[in-house]
Amino acid sequence: MSGTIVEFAVPFAVFLGDASDEIYTKTGFGLIQWRRSSCAGQVRLPGCQVDTGVADLTVAQAKSAGVRSLIVGSAAVGGAIPPHWIATLCEAASRGIDIVAGLHTRLADLPNLSQAAAAGGARLIDVRVPPVGLPVGTGRKRTGLRLLTVGTDCACGKKYTALALEREMRARGMSCDFRASGQTGIMIAGRGVPMDAVVADFVTGAAEVLSPDNEPHHWDLIEGQGSIFHPGFLQVTIGLLVGSQPDAFVVCHDPLRQEPLGCSGFAIPAIAEVIERTIAIGRLTNPAIRCVGIAVNTAKMSGSARAQLRDQYESQHALPCVDPLIDGVGAIVDRLNRGKS
């Protein structure tokens, strides 16, 4: 069992609906960041306040441009599709454009969409469907090496950091694989396990399936989910941590965020708290777990502020601190290769 396999036709366009905040369009941004050569543009509804920086297309223009898949790139907390989006999805499907989504709502359950797809010869592809027959976790030590990205909150760079590590390590000739645990990562990688769609009893087992036995020097770079400190999503975080039994982890952090996503009244934890609790829980299945770096999202900070923040975190935690998309992750890989030094 290797997880959910996702194959969608390209080129694709991302559908953003009428999203008002970038935080809820991470699927669209992630696909454009990591599969840009296959993206023809974006489809937006009136009132959309998010722009991913690619060409705007109507459904008709997308069809004329050869778009073969329309990927739902926006979602609110809970993973539902707003009713007023459905007409646009039906229009695309009736024109023969496949609809791809990684939401908790199944596409076939949306009114009229199955009929539109049948009329246009389009496919409805749900990504957030876990493989059947997942086992209960065993905690058995597996061969190979594993790195997990963890976060101070949801949507703070865990996927991007794992992908950047894969790119850097492969450039150095290291044996490694990105292991996707969320819908966007699965779309980028073509396979993975959507951890937040797995029944709770099987989450640790799903993590074991996601990262199986491997060669002694092979690194699995596992995309983290949620946050240990998030009141709504910590259960997936903990199951993934225990099941993946990481040898190393990187803490991902958005320094400008004041509260956990969707949870007003709670505070973002300190990086030191995340390191301490991750090690405490992770030792259950890997007593040698260690933190090897900090990844921050500084895209909205000035260069001087970014440098000051990096210096501050590196001094406080005696760990390399980088913005993966600006600085690269070479310093973290260097630390990883130095073992426990």
Q: Give residue-wise pLDDT tens across range 159-202.
A: 999 999 999 999 999 999 999 999 999 999 999 999 999 999 99
The architecture of the domain spanning 145-337 is 3-Layer(aba) Sandwich (3.40)
Residue 209 token pair: 């399936």
Residue 204's SS3 state is helix
Does 4-126 match 145-337 in CATH topology? yes
DSSP code, position 270: P
For residue 3, pLDDT over 60 is answered with yes
Q: What residue ranges do the domains of the chain occupy?
A: 4-126, 145-337
| pTM exceeds 0.85 for this model | yes
What pLDDT does 341 receive? 41
How does pLDDT run across 96-118, given as a tens digit for each residue?
999 999 988 899 999 999 999 99
Tokens 């990883």 correspond to what residue? 336
pLDDT at position 5 over 90: no
Taking all residues of the chain, what is their mean pLDDT, rounded to a whole number?
Answer: 94
Span 246-273, pLDDT tens digits = 999 999 999 999 999 888 889 999 999 9
What pLDDT, on the 0 to 100 scale, is given for residue 104? 87
**Torsion angles phi and psi, residue 291, rounded to 5:** -90, 135
Superfamily of domain 4-126: NAD(P)-binding Rossmann-like Domain (3.40.50.720)
